[in-house]
Structure 1
Amino acid sequence: MKRLFPTPVLSISLCLLWLLLNLSVSPGNLLLGVLLGVLAPLLMAPLRPLSAHISHPWTILRLILRVGIDVLGSNLQVARGVWTAKHRAPRSRFVHVPLDLHDAHGLAALSMITTVIPGTIWSELALDRSVLLLHVFDLDDEAHFIEHFKQTYERPLMEIFQ
């Protein structure tokens, strides 16, 4: 049974989504929904990454709260930087951050966190996953930024995924 339905929740969801999008439960739509629910997970199974081993639920909660606080603070910093740009131009630059995190799931989470925080852009990851290139909107102290990034985001993700 697991062979035919590797992800039963996904299969049921795809079938229901098909029916919902078509606003019809006709036999033809029902058949197409079932076919979509069965075939799509089977055909896409090779593209799915390995399952992640997640631990330390309190670390996850602290990281989510920290990211939320940083999003608010960065929004204010970027807004202030934009408003005061004619008096003091932002010091944008690229920063190379050495990484100790090598887990694919952890790096994916780190890329989402970086994308969510205003003023930072994930630009490039080295092929060996050892260095991350970030663009920072306004940066005073590069060493302090790197230390903050590693302590605030990379270390908790290492606890969670490695």
Structure 2
Amino acid sequence: MLSRLLPHPLLTVTLTLTWMLLVNSFTAGQALLGVLLGWAIPVFTRRFWPDRVRIARPWWLVFFLVKVLWDILIANVTVAALILGGQRFARPAFVAVPLELRTELAISILANTVSLTPGTVSAWLSPDRRTLIVHGLRVTDPDALAHEIKTRYERPLRDIFEPPC
């Protein structure tokens, strides 16, 4: 019964906090509207979610978010220097990243994380969901970029969402 009224508690909290950050105003009315939206969106979209979201290690998710925010900051500076330095430093390339992740949510978070980090963008996911094609703005070693994505982002996501049985 509780799962029907609150199908995705973490999503409810995330949506509520996101609403409060977007409106940039902490009033009782905005907080109430944020809670209402945070509750209603998961309830009305419940049938579109294939599985209930399971986070095996929630604190690791917090550390992952801090790491991603740091990487976004550093990548912004790097891309700005690359742009100001001219095109001679750019070495764009597509890189195939083999995936070990199996849950749709974890793959989606990985693809979005890659796209949020300036200088890289997720370009294509194979139909079997075993390869992510990433476009990099400055790729000197494709294997190194694939390895970095796998170690910095995929491995923590696998530990957070797909712990060993």
Q: Same fold (TM over 0.5)?
A: yes
Asked if residue 113 in structure 1 is aligned to residue 80 in structure 2, the reply is no
Q: How many Å separate the matches in 2 of 1:101 and 1:84?
A: 37
Aligned residues between the structures: 133
Aligned to 2:141: 141
If you compute each CA radius of gyration, which structure gives the higher value, 1 or 2? 1
Aligned to 2:153: 153
Distance 1:159 1:47, change over 3 A: same
Aligned to 1:23: none
- Which one-letter code corresponds to 1:98 in the other structure? P
Aligned to 1:26: none
Deviant stretches of 4+, over 2 Å: 5-10
Q: How many Å separate the matches in 2 of 1:65 and 1:116?
A: 13
Gaps of 5+ in 2: 16-38
Report SS of the residue matched to 1:132: strand
Q: How many Å separate the matches in 2 of 1:2 and 1:55?
A: 20
Q: Tell me by how many angstroms 1:58 deviates.
A: 2.9
The CA RMSD measured in Å over matched residues stands at 2.7
Q: Tell me by how many angstroms 1:79 deviates.
A: 0.5
Aligned to 2:33: none
Gaps of 5+ in 1: 14-36
Q: How many Å separate the matches in 2 of 1:41 and 1:57?
A: 22
Report SS of the residue matched to 2:60: helix
Aligned to 2:32: none
Q: TM-score, with normalisation over the residues of structure 1?
A: 0.71
Q: How many Å separate the matches in 2 of 1:79 and 1:41?
A: 42
Q: Tell me by how many angstroms 1:106 deviates.
A: 0.5
Larger mean Cα displacement after TM superposition, 44-53 or 89-98: 44-53
- Which one-letter code corresponds to 2:47 in the other structure? P
Q: How many Å separate the matches in 1 of 2:62 and 2:97?
A: 24
Q: How many Å separate the matches in 2 of 1:141 and 1:58?
A: 33
Asked if residue 131 in structure 1 is aligned to residue 131 in structure 2, the reply is yes
Q: TM-score, with normalisation over the residues of structure 2?
A: 0.70
Aligned to 2:47: 46
Q: Tell me by how many angstroms 1:46 deviates.
A: 2.4
Aligned to 1:70: 71
